Structure 1
Amino acid sequence: MDICVFLSAADLDERYTTAAHEFAELLGKGGHTLVWGGSDAGLMKVVADGVQAAGGRLVGISVEFLQHKARPGCDEMVVARDLAERKAQLLARADAIVVMVGGTGTLDEATEILELKKHGLHTKPVVLLNTAGFYDGLKQQFRRMDEEGFLPLPLTELVFFAEDAVSALAYLEESAGIR
């Protein structure tokens, strides 16, 4: 399965890097392909290193203005013209999406993917990996949106909140009929 992972390129605390490495190992050992922003920095590097070390494939989709941070030695590296094109290519190349911890860029990617799913423009499973409770506030907000009628489909059909790497990958594999 080709799994797009949205995440930070920042160097982060061990509570995030350990969880990211665990998820990466599961992806690689499961024979999955990581489709990601292509950066060789921060948490993106941690995940790419883990997937590659565990035998998985790497498909990076960088962007022109960040090409200098692109990871060498990928199975495939694409350079998009801008962020909008990169997001479109990431979605097109993925069978499923995982949103890990990140900043405004990650949040932008996550909300766009969810908006497209809400409108039926894709049906791919989406997981928010809630490492160390990072997305607790967002989870609460989504529940409120669901309860107050702001979502045209139930929250459970839009996104799955996983508390750990094992449940995130199990959900994706079950959704794809792999288990």
Structure 2
Amino acid sequence: MNICVFLSAADLDERYTRPAREFAELVGAGGHTLVWGGSDVGLMKVVADGVHETGGRLLGVTVDFLAATAREGADEMVVTESLAERKRLLLAKADAVVIMVGGTGTLDEATEILELKKHGHTAMPVVLLNTEGFYDGLKEQFRRMEDEGFLPVPLTDLVFFAEEPVGALAYLEESVGIE
């Protein structure tokens, strides 16, 4: 399975790196491919290292103005001209999406895949890994959107909220029929 992970390229503390690495190791040990923004810095590096060290493939999609931070030795690295093209390719190469902690770029990527799902343009499973309650506020906002009629489909049809990495991968594998 090709698992696209949206996450920060920032250097973060153990509260965020530990679960990210744990998820990455599960991905690699499961023989899956990481599809990610291609950076070899911060949390992106943590995840790429974990997948690579446990036998998974690395498929990066970076953008030309970030190419200097692209991971050397990835199994595949694509360089795009724009962030919009990068996002399109990340999703095109994925069978599933996991959203980890991040800033505005991660939030942009997350809302894009959820909007595509809402309109029926993709059926791929999406997991929001709610490390340390990072997305509690967003989860509450989504619930309000659902309660007040802003979501034409149930929230549970759009995204699965996982509190731990093992639950995130288990949901994905079940959703795509991997046992």
Amino acid aligned to 1:102: G
Instruction: Provide the aligned C-alpha RMSD in A.
Output: 0.4
Q: Secondary structure in 2 aligned to 1:97?
A: strand
How many angstroms apart in 1 are the aligned matches of 2:117 and 2:87?
14
Deviations 1:24-55 (A, max 9, x none): 00000000000000000000000000000000
Instruction: Report the Cα offset of residue 119 of structure 1.
Output: 0.7
Deviations 1:38-75 (A, max 9, x none): 00000000000000000000000000000000000000
How many angstroms apart in 1 are the aligned matches of 2:18 and 2:171?
20
Per the alignment, residue 74 of structure 2 pairs with: 74
Instruction: Report the Cα offset of residue 158 of structure 1.
Output: 0.4
Q: Secondary structure in 1 aligned to 2:15?
A: helix
Per the alignment, residue 96 of structure 1 pairs with: 96
How many angstroms apart in 2 are the aligned matches of 1:170 and 1:148?
31
- TM-score normalised by L of structure 2: 0.99
How many angstroms apart in 2 are the aligned matches of 1:160 and 1:109?
16
Per the alignment, residue 160 of structure 1 pairs with: 160
Q: Which runs of 5+ in 2 are unaligned?
A: none
Which runs of structure 1 show a deviation greater than 4 angstroms over 4 or more consecutive aligned residues? none
> Quick one: percent identity of the two aligned structures?
77
Deviations 1:119-143 (A, max 9, x none): 1111100000000000000000001
How many angstroms apart in 1 are the aligned matches of 2:68 and 2:113?
26
Amino acid aligned to 1:24: A
Alignment of 1:111-130 (within 5 A): 111-130=111-130
Per the alignment, residue 62 of structure 2 pairs with: 62
Per the alignment, residue 27 of structure 1 pairs with: 27
Per the alignment, residue 109 of structure 1 pairs with: 109
Instruction: Report the Cα offset of residue 3 of structure 1.
Output: 0.2
How many angstroms apart in 2 are the aligned matches of 1:20 and 1:106?
14
Q: Secondary structure in 2 aligned to 1:34?
A: strand
Deviations 1:90-140 (A, max 9, x none): 000000000000000000000011111111111100000000000000000
Q: Secondary structure in 1 aligned to 2:117?
A: helix
Amino acid aligned to 2:169: L
Per the alignment, residue 10 of structure 1 pairs with: 10
How many angstroms apart in 2 are the aligned matches of 1:32 and 1:73?
17
How many angstroms apart in 1 are the aligned matches of 2:9 and 2:24?
15
Per the alignment, residue 178 of structure 1 pairs with: 178
- Determine whether 1:144 maps to 2:144: yes
- TM-score normalised by L of structure 1: 0.99
